[in-house]
Structure 1
Amino acid sequence: MTKAEIVTKVAAAVGLTKIETEAVINGFIVAINDSLKEGNEIEIRGLGSFRIIERQPRLARNPKTGGKVQLPKRRVPQFRPSKDLRKAVNVKK
C-alpha cells in the first residue's frame, strides 16, 4: 500500500479531503522522524513502537568483488509491532 492509497482510505474513513488528510499524514511522518532523530522512542498503542538502535562497526564483504569492507558504526530505525497488530495479521481467513 502506498502513501497515496493510505491517504485515500483515511480520507474516506474520517470525512476529510485528500489534501487535508495528506497534510495530517505528512505531519505525522515528520513528527516521527524528528523524534527518532532526537533519540526518543515512539509508542503507538495498537500499532507498535519505533526506536533507534546503534549498529557496531563490522567487517563485511563486497558481494561483487569478494573484498573486505569496513562498515562504520551507524544508527538504524527499528519497528516492533504490538501484540494487537501481530494477532490481527495472524487471524485465519
Structure 2
Amino acid sequence: MTKKEIVKQISDKIGLTQLKTKDIVQQTFDAIVDALLEMGRIELRNFGVFEVKQRKARKARNPRTGERVDVPPKYVVTFKPGKEMEERVKKLTSLPVNLDGEGLILGDTDEVSKPGPSL
C-alpha cells in the first residue's frame, strides 16, 4: 500500500479532500520523525513503538573482493508492534496477495519499491 492509497482510504472514510488528508498524513509522519530525532523514542498506544538505537561497530566482508572491512557504528530506527497489531497479525491464515516476503516501502513519490540489499 502506498502513501497515496492510505490518503485516499482515509479521505473516503472521513469525508475530507485528498489534498487536506495528504497534508494531515504528512504532518503526522513529520511529527513522528521530529519526535524520534528529539527524544529517540515515540510510543503510539495500540500501534507500536518507534525507537532510535545504535548498532555497534562490526567487521564485515566486501562481497566483490572478499576483503575484511570495518563497519562503523550507526543509528537505526526500530519498530516494535503493539499488542493489538501482533494479535491481529497472528490470526492471519495467509499473506496478503501483494506481499512476497520482501515487504513494501512507502516513498515520497508515492511509488512502491522493494527494499535494497542489506549488509
TM-score strictly above 0.5: yes
RMSD: 1.3
1:25 positional shift: 0.7
Match of 1:65 in 2: 65
AA aligned opposite 2:91: V
Structure number with the higher helix fraction is 1
CA distance in structure 1 between the aligned counterparts of 2:36 and 2:92, rounded to whole angstroms: 34
TM-score, with length taken from structure 2? 0.73
- Runs (4+) off by over 4 Å: none
1:38-49 matches, cutoff 5 A: 38-49=38-49
1:37 positional shift: 1.3
Q: RCO higher in 1 or 2 (8 Å CA, sep ≥ 6)?
A: 2
Provide structure 1 residue ranges, at least 5 long, that are not aligned to the other structure.
none
Identity %: 38
Provide structure 2 residue ranges, at least 5 long, that are not aligned to the other structure.
94-119
CA distance in structure 2 between the aligned counterparts of 1:54 and 1:48, rounded to whole angstroms: 19
CA distance in structure 2 between the aligned counterparts of 1:78 and 1:84, rounded to whole angstroms: 18
1:64 positional shift: 2.0
Match of 1:28 in 2: 28
CA distance in structure 1 between the aligned counterparts of 2:56 and 2:24, rounded to whole angstroms: 36
AA aligned opposite 1:68: R
1:92 positional shift: 4.5
Is the counterpart of residue 88 in structure 1 residue 60 in structure 2?
Answer: no
1:53 positional shift: 0.5
Report the number of matched residues. Answer: 93
Please say which of residues 37-46 and 74-83 is displaced more in the overlay. 37-46
TM-score, with length taken from structure 1? 0.91
AA aligned opposite 2:68: K
